Chains A and B, each alone.
Chain A
Amino acid sequence: MMVNEGSEGRGGDAEHFSRLFEWLNTNADRLLDDPATNLVAVGIGKKSAGRIDDDSPFCITGFVEKKLSEKEIASRSMSLFADAAAAVSNVGQPKSLDFEIDVIETGSRFRARPGLQFPAAQRGLRGGAAPTLDLQKRFETIRKGIGITNPHRSYPASLSVGTLGFFVRDEGGTTFLVSNNHVIADENKARKGDSIVQPGTLDLTQSELNLMPTLAKLRAQLEIAKLSAFVDIHFHNPQAIPFNEVDCAAAEILSDKRDFSEIARIGLGGDLSGVATPFTIDPVTGEVTGLTRVYKAGRTTGWTEGEVTQLAVVTDVRYGAGLARFRNQLGIAASPDNTGPFSRAGDSGSAIVNARQELVGLLFAGSEMQTLANPIQPVLDALSGALGAKALTVI
């Protein structure tokens, strides 16, 4: 319901908001106390009824359980919100108000969410599943921690999924998502330009698979990035057992496919705040400098908490293509407060962060009890080289 269109431009938003806030403080009680208004609540919103930071003007919003026609309102001897707002403002007619108003339907009155309380014997029956965030679905706004894969060379015969780790930007402003080689570069078999899709193909329903029976159709619907570069994994071979330090790859995001505008500020568990200083250890006392409590958001186990328990790990890791030997890795165990393991299959590619939301490592492998991660600086150095970038900034 528009009363006075275009009374304020974007430039006067702050002043306009202040005036609305003052108006609300003065008049909200009177509006809510008047049973004829049938208001549930009143507040300040956007005329679009959308996000508070969109381009439409601020307005006074009245909340009602159900919107009624003017005829119904008249028949019940109720007041239009516009008329009531004008009346408390002492301006006579709604058109004389110097702000816009809107009415939003709530469906019911607001109620406090009741705490769950049941007899002890019914414990476990009523609480529902543990709270969780589904990281396996299709996301309209792309963020770290969600399922992705490279479907080339396998789809539709086999399905796969790993995790989108984090985002970096090069000096030219190009933005890349980062994950493992074995998630988005198919253990060295991928080609530059391969499509990266979200969600991973393993997370598609049968109906979705039926709608996208070919790679071309899958790419058309779910592509979010194109593979730009990866660091080769060197496998055991008859001549030698080469050492690896990283399992990583980068793909340039396709900003016209999904919403990438939020990637720097909607991190799961918190927004990234840069790169952690590498762990240092006092040579004599063994005291470690750096936060060893770490966290990750991954496609399979979601948000988990762990502890870096080992440095400089040397071990063989089993891939589909064979064994690969790694050194200088971080060993991570689930913290005592974490339910279950720190990671499972499908979590590869997850960014590992500390309590300051600084990037610590890139998750890539695990055993029953332990998780392995590449320390983050070698990952960034290797990807800079592979991408031909002077430097990469974590965003």
Chain B
Amino acid sequence: MSTIANYGEVQRALQTDTEQILAQIPVSPVTLSMPMDGAGPRICASVKRDDTSRVPASVNVVLDGNPVEIVVEAVGDYQDFKAL
């Protein structure tokens, strides 16, 4: 049984389990991040407005051998990043 990820686990998962997380969010383009707004540990998935419904409510990773569930928040505000 998995536990809900805390802030530390969200940050770590985004840094080390990026491919597994992206594989569970079948939307492109997407920007993933950990918001620092104090509204709870989660991944923010910025996607195009029409794609928000395709973003799952959570993703699962394994950290130190333990299954962890990470809440995903879909936001329809995706914007291209360009090298400046």
Residues of chain A at the chain B interface (Cβ within 8 Å): 162, 180, 182, 243, 247, 281-286, 288, 292, 308-320, 327-328, 331, 343-348, 363-372
Contact = CB atoms under 8 A, between A and B. Distances in A.
Contact of B33 (A310, A316, A346, A363): A310
A243 B20 CA distance: 13
Given A308-B36, A311-B36, A312-B34, A348 B11 contact: no
A367 B79 CA distance: 6
Contact of B84 (A309, A310, A348): A348
Kindly name the residue among B22, B32, B35, B83 whose own CB sees the greatest number of chain A CB atoms within 10 A. Answer: B83
14 contacts: A162-B84, A182-B83, A281-B36, A283-B8, A283-B9, A309-B35, A312-B10, A312-B33, A316-B31, A318-B83, A319-B82, A364-B84, A365-B82, A372-B81
Contacts of A180: 83
A280 B30 CA distance: 25
Contacts of A370: 79, 81
Nearest to B32: A314
Q: Which 6 A-B pairs have the closest CB atoms?
A: A283-B8, A367-B79, A312-B14, A310-B33, A315-B31, A348-B84
Grouping DSSP codes into helix (H, G, I), strand (E, B) and loop, the A interface class, with mixed when no group exceeds half, is strand
B36 A317 contact: no
Nearest to A233: B83
A375 B40 CA distance: 23
Interface of B: 6-11, 14-15, 18, 21-22, 29-38, 40-41, 44, 77, 79-84
Contacts of A320: 83
B50 to A, nearest CB: 18
B69 to A, nearest CB: 15
Interface centre among A313, A318, A372 (most CB of B within 10 A): A313
B71 to A, nearest CB: 13
Given A318-B82, A344-B84, 17 more contacts: A284-B6, A310-B34, A310-B35, A310-B44, A311-B36, A313-B31, A314-B21, A315-B29, A316-B29, A320-B83, A328-B14, A346-B84, A348-B83, A365-B81, A367-B82, A369-B77, A371-B84
B10 to A, nearest CB: 8
A313 B32 contact: yes
B80 A367 contact: yes
A347 B84 CA distance: 6
Contact of B11 (A243, A292, A311): A311
A331 B33 contact: yes
Given A283-B8, A315-B81, A292 B36 contact: yes
Nearest to B15: A328
A320 B82 CA distance: 9
A371 B8 CA distance: 23
B68 to A, nearest CB: 12
A317 B41 contact: no
Given A365-B83, A366-B82, A370-B79, A311 B34 contact: yes
Given A310-B34, A316-B29, A327 B18 contact: yes
Nearest to B37: A309
B7 A283 contact: yes
Most buried by B among A180, A182, A292, A316: A316
Contacts of B80: 318, 367
B8 to A, nearest CB: 3
B84 A319 contact: no
B33 A311 contact: yes
B31 A319 contact: no
A308 B35 CA distance: 9
Contacts of A319: 82-83
